[in-house]
Structure 1
Amino acid sequence: MQSPYPPRPPYPPLPAPSGESDRDLVARLAGADDARHHAVALLLARHWRAARDYAIVCLASAGPAAPLVATAAFHQVLGRMAGGAVGGALRPHLLVAVRDTVRAWAADDGTCAALPELRRPTGGRGLRATKPGTPERRQLAERAFRALPGASQCLLWHTEVEVEPINIPAGLLGIAPATATAALEQVREQFRAGCVRAHRELAPTKECRFYNRLLDIPMRRGGALLPDVRQHLTVCPYCRHAADTIGRFEGGLDLLLAETVLGWGARRYLDSRPGRGAAEELPHTPAPEAVRPGAGGRHRTGSGSGSGAAAVRPCSPASH
């Protein structure tokens, strides 16, 4: 029997550049109907597939509940952003809302009766049974990521986790790809410095604070930790988690970010990203009809995309 869904390429076509950043579009959500519909359509075109994919990860099912979860997450996040209640990059906020929606729905018997997919032990039921919040081993990274400006969060997430070319986050930010490229290494360094600073500021003992730089500097230079530092790590889980976090900057930053922001299903979400060569094995779930965009799931700008918007400033105050 022929599939009712048209075949999709492994890396779907990108919408044409609009020159409008996510931030510009979010600002339009509080405007007149035409502006709001335009903004919602473009934001869905850019972020719907990722929300749908993570809903499938959280549910362990590609059934009808996944688009419902993604739609609910969009309503929550865009509503909060339109009201100015939350800042930061849109994609991480949206994915967290997907996870939290599955957790909340799985805790409600009536919702589970209507959507039996929520009862899957490897999906909603399993997620409900886990402890909410960031895993202890990723709390330093969480503090550092939240302290980053929204533009820096966007650059890190879309290059490291989504593995998208630099023109994708540049388009989401409304800046030139060359500007984004120049800022990216500074953003990585800012995130690393934030993790090292969080280790020092939250250290439970003076000994932990003493070992702060002795963890960072050898790893940065590719050398071995001093024997007394290695001994300390055998008895101190706090510094052991810090060493693992800092070590991820030399390889594994994608998983560090995914585990920090998402927790549940982080590796499966990474594996689902088209930028990693993930095949389209599941039928495409269309966006809601009321605001269904006509283009695929990501935004692209050419090398000449608008540089008139404010450039990324990695050292600006946190906006999260």
Structure 2
Amino acid sequence: MRVSEPDNSDSATAGMQPEEALSETEVIERIRGRAAAATPATQEFRRRHLPAVLAYARLCSRDSDAAAALATQAFTLAVREIRRGINAPGTWRHRLLILVQQTAVSWSSDSRRDHLAPSFVACIEATGSPIHDRPLPLGTRPRDAALLDAFHSLPERTRGILWHAVIEAEPDSEVAAQVGVEPSALDALQASAHKALQKAYLRAHLERNGSQTCGRFQRLIEAATEPSDLRRSPDLERHMSVCSCCTLAVAQLFRLKQDPGGALADGLLGWGSAAYLATAPTHARTQPQPPQSDAAVPATAPVVLPPARRPRALHGRTGVPAHQRGRRVLGATAVVAAVVVAAVVALLPDDHHHPDQIARPLQPPHLTAAATSSHAAPATNTPPSPSTSASPTPTPTPTPTHQHTRAPSPPPIPRPRSNVNLAIHKTVAASSHTQDYVPSNAVDGDTSTYWEATNHVFPQWFEIDLGSAADVRRLVMNLPPLEDWNRRHQTITIEGSMNGYDWRTVVPATSYFFDAAEGNTATVTPASPTRTRYLKLVFSANTGWPAAQLSELQLFAS
């Protein structure tokens, strides 16, 4: 009797829903199924996540080839985990980014280290041995791992909504397709996801860091962080005056309400989260690729790099910059949190206690004790909105296909608007820093925060990676515009590089005068336009304080 052979032809998938219409869960199920269905499902999985994975890989690496290799390895490892029946503890997008990070960490111990971004290497050196499956830490303080634990404890659909809708702000139609719901239901689900995350975070934070006494204040903390609740709780205020755990919890809950995307990205991704939010092409997708003969994603598979996108502002759905939010009065408890959190946040235990020089640290909301609500004035160093006439980008011709999927060959060199700050939220590194005055403070758009190098040591350097080559015609260096900052001269040499290795002098050592009465700012206009990707400021003297200091670095094309 003849036994028929298995049918692996296209007829085996006849009548099945196309991969593009599947939710993430359904795509994962197909990857684990028969080969005929697994191959196109694997391609769809790659198509959905490739732009974001490459965006983060670019931050970790020096060049496009290294970024492509990191992304390829991340997909290879992820598909292997899927076929073994392993589920992502968060979302698969998050898991892929962590795999990029872990692969880059493994490179740091061999000859491939030279292909990594200097700021990433500096973070690894400061961190020591990163914990497996945990993101690299953020800032100079221990990372509050309770946020990651809380995220992992939520239902799968809730995690998907928080990542794709809140962190990456993808279009509602795409988020709904990812999590398998109707777009009309997304607003209600997102609101409930916010509440679930806040409750889960507070519970995880108190369990991880708090005492038995802290647990009794859980409901009072929840009430104190509600914008509509202006009641005072003297008991909670007295407790927070001596409890760093509950003070940090209040500060983190405020940030989750005011800047949920930034807070989540910092807690879940760690290193490079701010730069990733600024550059990730969350609205872009690559065109579907024809299925390969084998469903596996080989380590040597070529990766086509989509063109880099212009960074978008790190705003939440309210459209208000993060550093301008939270001015509303939330009661006396919030005032205590704002005053105490900076002094106690470093006291909390965590998985490891190693600093990171790169990414933006957690900052408590700016709150006042006024009796009425008020709105913050715009930051003085925020560049004006670019006018239409200033943009060199031609008006696109309407086309039925997505414009962002069309890449000319060869790709044109991007020309940023002349009045756009090229440095905002870019990846930075420094020779050293003191306390919590980390390098990222100098590119966070807030002149009240600043970077300060180790005291009594010169020279010191501050380096920024613009992500791609750009013409820099004007540099603006700021110190905090506060009266108690005395006048000073800082001697600075400005250098540029296209690869991060070979440096050339753009402006020789010059003494720059900073006076708080005049805004504490110094403007530099190089003799000729400087085309560079990396820019380095080398500080050799400071007459006002024995250390290199920089509140904000702004770079412009005009």
Once the two structures are superposed, the pairs formed by residues 133-282 of structure 1 within 5 Å of their partners are: 133=134, 135=137, 136-220=142-226, 221-223=228-230, 226-274=233-281
TM-score with structure 1 setting the length: 0.73
Residue of structure 1 in register with 2:33 after alignment:
31
Return the offset for 1:173: 2.2
Residues 214 and 225, structure 1, Cα contact 8 Å, conserved in 2: no
Q: Does 1:121 find its partner at 2:127?
A: no
Return the offset for 1:229: 3.3
Return the offset for 1:246: 1.1
Return the offset for 1:263: 0.6
Cα separation, 1, equivalents of 2:45 and 2:186: 20
Cα separation, 1, equivalents of 2:233 and 2:44: 52
Cα separation, 2, equivalents of 1:97 and 1:244: 30
Return the offset for 1:216: 1.6
Unaligned runs of 5+ in 1: 1-15, 279-285, 297-320
Cα separation, 2, equivalents of 1:117 and 1:225: 54
Residue of structure 1 in register with 2:73 after alignment:
72
| Residue-by-residue CA offset, 1:62-113 (whole Å, 9 max, x unaligned) | 4311011011111112211221122342111111111111111112x2333x
Label 1:251 to 1:30 Cα distance change in 2 as closer, same or farther (>3 A).
Answer: same
Cα separation, 2, equivalents of 1:50 and 1:225: 44
Return the offset for 1:233: 3.4
Residues 17 and 171, structure 1, Cα contact 8 Å, conserved in 2: no
Label 1:225 to 1:83 Cα distance change in 2 as closer, same or farther (>3 A).
Answer: farther
Q: Which has the higher helix share?
A: 1
Return the offset for 1:176: 1.9
Residue of structure 2 in register with 1:86 after alignment:
87
Label 1:238 to 1:269 Cα distance change in 2 as closer, same or farther (>3 A).
Answer: same
Letter in 2 for 1:171: A
| Residue-by-residue CA offset, 1:114-133 (whole Å, 9 max, x unaligned) | xx222x43123533542534
Return the offset for 1:52: 0.5
Letter in 2 for 1:249: L
Cα separation, 2, equivalents of 1:17 and 1:84: 20
Return the offset for 1:292: 7.0
Label 1:292 to 1:137 Cα distance change in 2 as closer, same or farther (>3 A).
Answer: closer
Label 1:71 to 1:223 Cα distance change in 2 as closer, same or farther (>3 A).
Answer: farther
Cα separation, 2, equivalents of 1:172 and 1:246: 27
Which deviates the most, 79-88 or 223-232? 223-232
**Bigger Cα Rg:** 2
Return the offset for 1:170: 1.1
Residues 233 and 239, structure 1, Cα contact 8 Å, conserved in 2: yes
| Residue-by-residue CA offset, 1:220-267 (whole Å, 9 max, x unaligned) | 135376455345435433222211221123211111111111111111
Unaligned runs of 5+ in 2: 1-17, 290-296, 308-558
TM-score with structure 2 setting the length: 0.44
Residues 80 and 86, structure 1, Cα contact 8 Å, conserved in 2: yes
Cα separation, 1, equivalents of 2:105 and 2:238: 40
Q: Secondary structure at the match of 1:202?
A: helix
Q: Secondary structure at the match of 2:224?
A: helix
Letter in 1 for 2:37: A
RMSD in angstroms over aligned alpha carbons?
3.1
Letter in 1 for 2:194: R
Return the offset for 1:205: 1.9
Letter in 1 for 2:271: W
Label 1:124 to 1:33 Cα distance change in 2 as closer, same or farther (>3 A).
Answer: farther
Return the offset for 1:37: 2.1
Q: Which has the higher strand share?
A: 2
Cα separation, 2, equivalents of 1:75 and 1:199: 34
Residues 72 and 301, structure 2, Cα contact 8 Å, conserved in 1: no
Cα separation, 2, equivalents of 1:162 and 1:246: 20
Which deviates the most, 82-91 or 201-210? 201-210
Return the offset for 1:203: 4.7
| Residue-by-residue CA offset, 1:278-316 (whole Å, 9 max, x unaligned) | 9xxxxxxx99995879x99xxxxxxxxxxxxxxxxxxxx
Residues 214 and 229, structure 1, Cα contact 8 Å, conserved in 2: yes
Q: Secondary structure at the match of 2:21?
A: coil
Aligned positions, number:
267
